[in-house]
A = this chain, B = another copy of it.
Amino acid sequence: MTSRRPQSKPVPTLEDVAERARVSTATVSRCLNAPQRVSAVTRARVMAAVQELGYAPNFGAQALAARRTNTFGAIIPTMENAIFARGLQAFQEVLTDEGVTLLVASSGYRPAAEEEQIRSLIARGADALLLIGHDRTAESYAMLERRQIPHVVTWAFDPDAPRSSIGFDNRAAMATLTAEVLDRGHRRIAFISAMTNGNDRARLRVEGARSALAARGLDPAAMPLEETEYSFHHGAAAFDRLMRQTPRPTAVLCGNDVLAAGALRQAREMGLDVPGEVSITGFDDIELCEIVTPALTTVHVPHREMGRRAARLLLDMRGGDSAGERVRLEAPIKWRDTLGPAPA
């Protein structure tokens, strides 16, 4: 991991930095791995030497000096659409305050890709990992166990799952929202979902809607379901297909806000009044919800709290101050303007 060209200059070592900063190699290592444990004066002198020499810590030396790289990893399904952005931002803010660098990988909702990324982040020396949801390959979990990497599952909460998680109950949240839709007299309810394969959040949201229908004695299997890719365009196209059915749905539940925003746009293009002729709901409560017209009624996901708490938990787990925990956060309905009574 040193320089990449044979003809490059000799690579400065930890010893070179220690000598130049007139401190022990252990002190240099502490500055790099646990800066809060070093006086500001010493740290300034060491970091100056690090910069002057262009020193980049070497894994071997670092592993010997302190069994951590002070880098955490996060693997998210996508960097698009800002679904995970706010939570990740809060996660990073806490880590930054602790001098920890965050490296993020995006799996494209592909469990095989996530497995490679987990392997790579472990190889790069990540001290701890933030993961999204419970769906991943057995080998992914096996690697985390074998290498004893502290990790936490977010964006989902499964009381039966054995591992640390800070999330919310996707199924219960969607069931609650669906009950509110039913309370407003809607019976022809359709659902636009993200692809559920490898995405437990999406799957649980569909299950939540079905369970609410069943609880009212309605047939869950009769609910029209469009499973589609995660984009405005796909949401609009799915809404278009649903509204061509007869009888037409009076309410369309969307598995996330991006699909709902696409549905809203399509409703506008079809000249349909929302919520007068058709109600539309989302899930996530990203900032987009307040930008679309009418503003989107959705489920509020506690992005920032989830990110902050996941960071603190992983810091505690790395430090040996926690063996992990399982926290269920609330995900309440965020009332705006797209859910109304069923048309007469």
Complex CA–CA separation, A297 to B36 (angstroms) = 49
Complex CA–CA separation, A1 to B66 (angstroms) = 9
| A79-B60 contact given A96-B113, A120-B71, A149-B4, CB 8 Å threshold | no
Q: Is A62 an interface residue when CB atoms closer than 8 A count as contact?
A: yes
Complex CA–CA separation, A261 to B82 (angstroms) = 15
Q: Which residue of chain B is the closest to A105 with respect to CB atoms?
A: B103
Q: How many copies does the complex hold?
A: 2
Which residues of chain A from 42 to 58 have any CB-CB distance to chain B below 8 Å in the complex? 51, 54, 56-58
| A79-B68 contact given A104-B105, A121-B103, A290-B232, CB 8 Å threshold | no
Q: Is A216 an interface residue when CB atoms closer than 8 A count as contact?
A: no
Residues of B within 8 A of A122 (CB): 56
Q: Which residue of chain B is the closest to A88 with respect to CB atoms?
A: B79
Does A123 lie within 8 Å of B81, measured CB to CB?
Answer: no
Q: Is A25 an interface residue when CB atoms closer than 8 A count as contact?
A: no
Which residues of chain A from 95 to 129 have any CB-CB distance to chain B below 8 Å in the complex? 96, 101-106, 108, 113, 116-117, 119-125, 127
Complex CA–CA separation, A141 to B81 (angstroms) = 31
Residues of B within 8 A of A57 (CB): 123
Q: Is A24 an interface residue when CB atoms closer than 8 A count as contact?
A: no
Does B143 lie within 8 Å of A54, measured CB to CB?
Answer: yes
Least distance between A183 CB and chain B CB atoms (Å):
29
Complex CA–CA separation, A232 to B79 (angstroms) = 19
Q: Is A244 an interface residue when CB atoms closer than 8 A count as contact?
A: no
Q: Is A85 an interface residue when CB atoms closer than 8 A count as contact?
A: yes
Does A116 lie within 8 Å of B101, measured CB to CB?
Answer: yes
Does B79 lie within 8 Å of A287, measured CB to CB?
Answer: no
Does A9 lie within 8 Å of B291, measured CB to CB?
Answer: no
| A105-B102 contact given A148-B5, A265-B290, A288-B288, CB 8 Å threshold | yes
Q: Is A142 an interface residue when CB atoms closer than 8 A count as contact?
A: yes
Q: Is A89 an interface residue when CB atoms closer than 8 A count as contact?
A: yes
Q: Is A322 an interface residue when CB atoms closer than 8 A count as contact?
A: no
Most buried by B among A1, A63, A102, A108: A1
Residues of B within 8 A of A139 (CB): 51
Does A4 lie within 8 Å of B101, measured CB to CB?
Answer: no
Does B291 lie within 8 Å of A261, measured CB to CB?
Answer: yes
Q: Is A211 an interface residue when CB atoms closer than 8 A count as contact?
A: no
Complex CA–CA separation, A78 to B86 (angstroms) = 10
Residues of B within 8 A of A101 (CB): 105, 116-117, 120
Does A80 lie within 8 Å of B71, measured CB to CB?
Answer: no
Question: Assuming A71-B124, A103-B124, what are 11 further A-B pairs, CB within 8 angstroms?
Answer: A1-B62, A4-B127, A4-B147, A4-B318, A8-B148, A9-B146, A56-B122, A79-B79, A101-B116, A232-B287, A264-B291
Closest 5 CB pairs of A and B: A1-B125, A54-B146, A59-B59, A80-B85, A101-B120
List, sorted by A's number, 27 A–B pairs whose CB atoms are closer than 8 Å.
Answer: A1-B62, A1-B124, A1-B125, A3-B147, A3-B148, A4-B147, A51-B139, A56-B119, A58-B60, A58-B123, A69-B123, A73-B103, A78-B89, A79-B89, A89-B108, A101-B105, A102-B105, A103-B104, A124-B125, A233-B287, A261-B291, A265-B290, A268-B293, A288-B291, A291-B292, A292-B292, A293-B293
